[in-house]
Structure 1
Amino acid sequence: MSGDVSRETFSRLEVFASLLRTWNTRINLVSPRDMEQLWPRHIEDSLQLAPLVPQGARVIDLGSGGGFPGMIVGIAAGAEMVFIESDRRKAAFLREAARACGVRAQVMAQRIEVARPAPAPVVTARALAPLDILLGWAAPLLASGGYALFLKGKSLPDELTEAGARWQMSHESHPSRTDPQGTILKVWDIRPVEEE
């Protein structure tokens, strides 16, 4: 899949990968056993979101951690990123990575529940929380007409059922190209069931 990106984007992704490897020796951004699979498991998985994000759009990334998917979206889609990451060491890494990779970014070292960035057209998250919780976090951060993109695993059908008890939403699924059990879930028009 990395062949789908321009040479400039690929070189910026390589800068990011190198920086992540260096920082990962000091703080746990990616589990050590995942480092050998950094490109397919993390970078290429996150890259799948880039075509679903309008070029240059403002994007809020929830629980950004080691920069997945947010930093990859920032690089590949030229997005203006807002990273919300409560761990201050990871937030420091995100600031350094954004600078090194030329990503326009604001890093909020806060818990998602208390962070109050201006709403954005796109909200992203990967391997963060069950859908029910993600919807509660994403809904107030989405601009009118905006949508959320969540990378989800094999438990998605159960999560959709569970979330449906509390949330009304429109959604569509795209199969993951990197994980046979994975799905990219696009969600919009999120509102609590009580509003009906």
Structure 2
Amino acid sequence: MSSPEAQAILDRFDVSRESREKIEIYVKLLLTWQQRINLIGPATVGSVWQRHVCDSLQLLPLLPSGTTRIAELGSGAGIPGLMLAMTADLEAYLYESNGKKAAFLREAARLTGTRATIFNIRLESLAGKTGVPRVDCVVARALAPLPLLLDYAAPFLSQGSIGLFHKGQDVDAELTEATKYWRMDVLKHASKCDSRGVILEIREATRV
């Protein structure tokens, strides 16, 4: 059984009993693998529920109505992509260049019964690529400055996906730089888990 802190976070986002069980399996696996490979920052291991689970679940109310498929860029430990998929019963396409992290994602998806396809490729290979899966939303967390992140996300955004990107205190500078190369509709949502964090919601992104 998870801690009172964990239960409070799951209650806060109205997570179902079945999804709670999946998240608990995922967190246990994450902490086991963390002893062998660096999936999350070592300093955040003791606060995994607040720093990682909460940070993922706060995207749930921001997903477009009727979302069934998402993509995550630089998936790492699957935060937030895999966790969103297991919580909201979505199909996830996870892009991760590190082979060991991709192996973790496959095992986590298997143990939690989550519909996920893992692509063990470098994001640079997506540039200008056609034929990527059509998804409702593309997500990324702590991956790259916004101009580069938009380059990575372009194959999905060009098909009508919205972007939900975790950003930190430099978000305004990143937006200023990105608008030199991109025209887009942007909404900033204050993070529910980190007073310095922001979730960028990006729609209608086209290159200038």
Structure-1 separation of matches of 2:161 and 2:26: 28
> Counterpart amino acid of 1:183?
V
1:111 to 113, 122, 129: 122
State the identity %: 44
> 2:124 is paired with a residue of what secondary structure?
coil
1:134 aligns with: 149
Corresponding residue of 1:2 = 10
Matched with 1:87 is 98
Cα distance change on mapping 1:97 and 1:143 into 2, 3 Å: farther
For 1:106 and 1:69, the matched residues in 2 are separated by 15
Number of aligned residue pairs: give it.
Answer: 193
| Cross-structure match for 1:31 | 41
Which residue pairs with 1:120 in the alignment? 135
2:108 aligns with: 97
Q: Which amino acid aligns with 1:91?
A: A
Cα RMSD, aligned residues only: 1.4
> Which blocks of at least 5 consecutive residues in structure 2 are unaligned?
1-8
Higher strand share: 1
Structure-2 separation of matches of 1:103 and 1:56: 15
Q: Distance in 1 between matches of 2:160 and 2:37?
A: 37
Aligned match of 1:12: 22
Structure 1, unmatched stretches of 5+, are none
Q: When the two structures are superposed, what TM-score results if normalisation uses the length of structure 2?
A: 0.88
8 Å Cα contact 2:158/2:206 also seen in 1: no
- Between 1:49-58 and 1:92-101, the stretch displaced more is 49-58
* CA shift for structure 1 position 154: 0.8
Q: CA deviation at 1:11?
A: 1.5
Matched, 1:188 2:203: yes
What one-letter code is carried by the residue in structure 2 that aligns with 1:18?
Answer: K
TM-score with structure 1 length normalisation?
A: 0.93
Distance 1:9 1:27 in 2: 26
